[in-house]
């Protein structure tokens, strides 16, 4: 599992960078609740991304969501941004957002935060 770095979006803009998806089929990033993920798929097969809710049944705080997020990234030039991810629903005990994917070749990821 690779730990990726957040890129903070600013008013003057950023030049985004993307990392190759980890061969272990899972990655993580620190999540402040304003985190967005951008996936790019250069493969001829669809890629499926799953972000699991980290809440235990019976411990769901008010307003939290116990629902996994599954997203398909289209083939070849597929590009999809997803998020944000509320901390109360998606952070693990160490405040990371963790996701898995069904295949790694030609999948890249950018992690961004929009902080007012």
pLDDT in tens, 56-99: 555 666 665 567 889 999 999 889 999 999 888 899 889 999 99
Tokens of 53: 């809710």
Q: Where in the sequence is the domain holding 11, given as residue range(s)?
A: 2-113
Q: Is the pTM value of this prediction over 0.85? A: yes
**Residues 7, 66, 81, 50, Cα dihedral to 10°:** 100
- CATH code of the domain containing 89: 2.60.120
Domain count, the chain: 1
Measured CA to CA in angstroms, residue 72 lies from 61, 75, 81, 84, 91 at distances of 29, 9, 11, 17, 21
Q: Hey, is 108 helix, strand or coil?
A: strand
Distance CA 102, CA 112 (A): 22
């Amino acid at each position: 599992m690779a730990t990726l770095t957040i890129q903070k979006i600013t008013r003057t803009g950023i030049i985004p960078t993307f990392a190759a998806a980890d061969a272990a089929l899972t990655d993580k990033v620190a999540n402040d609740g304003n985190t967005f993920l951008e996936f790019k798929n250069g493969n001829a097969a669809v890629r499926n991304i799953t972000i699991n809710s980290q809440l235990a049944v019976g411990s769901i705080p008010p307003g939290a969501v116990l629902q996994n997020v599954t997203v398909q990234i289209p083939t070849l030039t597929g590009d999809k941004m997803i998020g944000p991810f509320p901390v109360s629903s998606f952070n693990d005990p160490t405040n990371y957002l963790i996701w898995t994917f069904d295949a790694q070749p030609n999948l890249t990821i950018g992690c961004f935060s929009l902080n007012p």
